[in-house]
Amino acid sequence: MVPRSISRKSFIKNSSILFAAGSGLLASGQAGSVGSFPAPAAGKALTLKNVRLETGFEYEEGQVSGTKTELFTIEISNGKIKSVLPNNPAAKGMDAKGLLLLPAFREMHIHLDKTYYGEKWKATNRKGGGVKGMIALEQQIIPGLLQNSTYKAEKLIELLQSKGSNFARSHVNIEPTSKLDSLKHLQKALEHKKDSFEAELVAFPQHGLYYTDSTGLMKDAAQMGVAFIGGLDPASIDGSIEKSMDFVVQLALDYHKGIDIHLHEGGASGVQTIEYLIKKVNENPVLKGKTFISHCFVLAHLEQNRLEEVAEKMGNAQIGVISTIPFGRTIMPIPTLYKYGVDVRAGNDCIIDHWSTFGSGSVLQKANLAAQLYGYNTELGLSRILKLATHNVLPLDDKGNQQWPKTGDKADLVLVEASCSAEAVSRISPVRSLIHRGNVVF
């Protein structure tokens, strides 16, 4: 049985006392709110006892009917799993109290640079006009947003950590209004959080590459530590799929970056953009596995034969799709994308900003949404779709063999108040602790 009554406060209090007694890394009472937690320096050892790990499936009439778990003691050093041992309740170290250990979650599409989070509640103030209307709005409000964007990014990172993510792929505005300041301010926040959080950045020409002249700034950004070159609706914003995508592809090639474009456009130009990108990636195989389309809503509205054709080509070109798992009029065909081996990843996109206020910061919630939308409702189905939160790292393989954690794995871990992965997805179980490279950060 997993204890159900541990509050986060008492858990952290107890673990900090044990921490202090066990390793001498922390004095009792130093543990506290996220961000103020003095993470032990990388390389220090950490022992976790009473850790619940999944060990296999139970079967009834050939169907997975449950998940077996046992308690273990895990030793961590140098930011990695050193050993997974039979449980030793008497071990000195942090007491996980029977909580389920899962791979830390990964938020794969967010805008850490552009948020109201950390300030007072504010509903969206869209004034219509589609994406171009939003560009006009941004040109007015971005100078105000930039005034304390480092602080707000740090608050947003703390929210993600509290929801179990120690990693984010963040888009960052590169346009003539903020110039390179959105990027610089976010990099400052990430520097402050570097012991507890990791991010990869996408240089995002939110106001169009040519609609506003952002090409020079994008070249500058490509040389400032970003990992991906972004893009935006090339036909509807820049008026040319080829001109806009050619710039993105060339910049990625010139500076050895990946690609992650926002594609909201539907209809013919949406599909043409996907097919053009597939062609460019096939011409430049170095971009395979490094190219992503965020949103890609047009796929939700293709008839099945056409969808399968496009999905197969995307799978072959190793172009991934990043989704917020939308519902309502746009249901993404994620099972079809999986069928063709497309790398699907999930993100919250907006937590609270002028685009949307519905992001919770939890990618576990995205896995839950997918389970509901696509019928992954059995023990097996629920346990498999956890991969949307962990980016494909699962404790058990499809046959129930234990495959995580193993010696040498990064110690990026989350402790969840659940009895197994399936329950965690179904209940969106509370996150009680996050460990980043062996450092307890939440």
Nearest residue relative to Zn ion (C-beta): 349
- Region binding Zn ion by CB under 5 A among candidate stretches 314-322, 343-351, 374-382, 392-400: 343-351
β-partners of residue 47 are 75
Q: Quick one: which segment of 131-139, 141-149, 248-256, 346-354 binds Zn ion (CB under 5 A)?
A: 346-354
Q: By C-beta, is 262 or 437 nearer to Zn ion?
A: 262
Q: Which of 349, 353, 412, 423 binds Zn ion (CB under 5 A)?
A: 349
Smallest distance, Zn ion to C-beta of residue 92, A:
45
DSSP 200-225: EEEEE-TT-STTTT-HHHHHHHHTTT
Q: Tell me which H or E stretch contains 260.
A: strand 258-263
**Contact letters for Zn ion, residues 296-335 (x by CB under 5 A):** ----------------------------------------
What backbone phi and psi angles, to 5 degrees, belong to 61? 50, 45
| The one segment of 11-19, 26-34, 59-67, 345-353 that binds Zn ion by CB under 5 A | 345-353
Q: Does 353 bind Zn ion (CB under 5 A)?
A: no
CA distances from 179 to 115, 121, 207, 254 (A): 17, 27, 11, 21
Which residue, 113 or 349, is less far from Zn ion as judged by CB?
A: 349
Considering the complex, state which of residue 71 and residue 300 has its C-beta at the smaller distance from Zn ion.
Answer: 300
Q: Is the peptide bond before 405 cis (omega within 30 degrees of 0)?
A: yes
Distances (CA, A) of 361 to 166, 168, 403: 12, 11, 27
Residue 346 identity = A
For 242-261, b/e burial (b = at least 16 CB within 10 A) is eebbebbbebbeeeebbbbb
Question: Minimum distance between the CB of residue 25 and Zn ion, rounded to whole angstroms?
Answer: 38
Identify which range of 2-10, 67-75, 187-195, 342-350 contacts Zn ion by CB under 5 A.
342-350
Query: Which is closer to Zn ion, CB of 113 or CB of 238?
Result: 113
Q: Which of residues 349 and 417 has its CB atom nearest to Zn ion in the complex?
A: 349
DSSP letter (8 states) at residue 120: -
Residue 294: CB minimum distance to Zn ion, A: 6
Site map (CB under 5 A) of Zn ion, residues 152-191, x = contact: ----------------------------------------
Residue with tokens 């930039």: 146
- Residue 349 or 423: the one with the smaller Cβ distance to Zn ion is 349
Query: Closest distance between Zn ion and the C-beta of residue 266, in Å?
Result: 17
Question: CB of 143: closest distance to Zn ion in angstroms?
Answer: 21
To Zn ion, the closest distance from the beta carbon of 111 in angstroms equals 6
Q: How far is the CB of 147 from Zn ion (least distance, A)?
A: 22
Q: How far is the CB of 171 from Zn ion (least distance, A)?
A: 5
Task: Give me the least distance between CB of 346 and Zn ion, in Å please.
Answer: 13
Residue 395 CA, distance from chain mean position: 18
**Cα–Cα distance measured from residue 144 to residue 114, given in angstroms and rounded to the nearest whole number:** 11
Q: How many residues bind Zn ion (CB under 5 A)?
A: 1
Identity of the residue, 261 or 385, whose beta carbon is nearer to Zn ion in the bound complex: 261
Cα–Cα distance measured from residue 395 to residue 399, given in angstroms and rounded to the nearest whole number: 11
The window from 95-103, 306-314, 347-355, 406-414 that contacts Zn ion (CB under 5 A) reads 347-355
Q: Where are the alpha helices (DSSP H) in 46-175?
A: 130-146, 149-162
Nearest distance from residue 269's CB to Zn ion, in Å? 19
Q: How far apart are alpha carbons 86 and 39 in whole angstroms?
A: 27
**Cα 382 from Cα 377, distance rounded (Å):** 6
Amino acid in the structure at residue 286:
V
- Cα–Cα distance measured from residue 34 to residue 168, given in angstroms and rounded to the nearest whole number: 17
Burial of 202 (0-12, 13-18, 19+ CB in 10 A): buried
Handedness of CA 298, 142, 166, 379 (dihedral sign): negative
- Contacts to Zn ion by CB under 5 A: 349
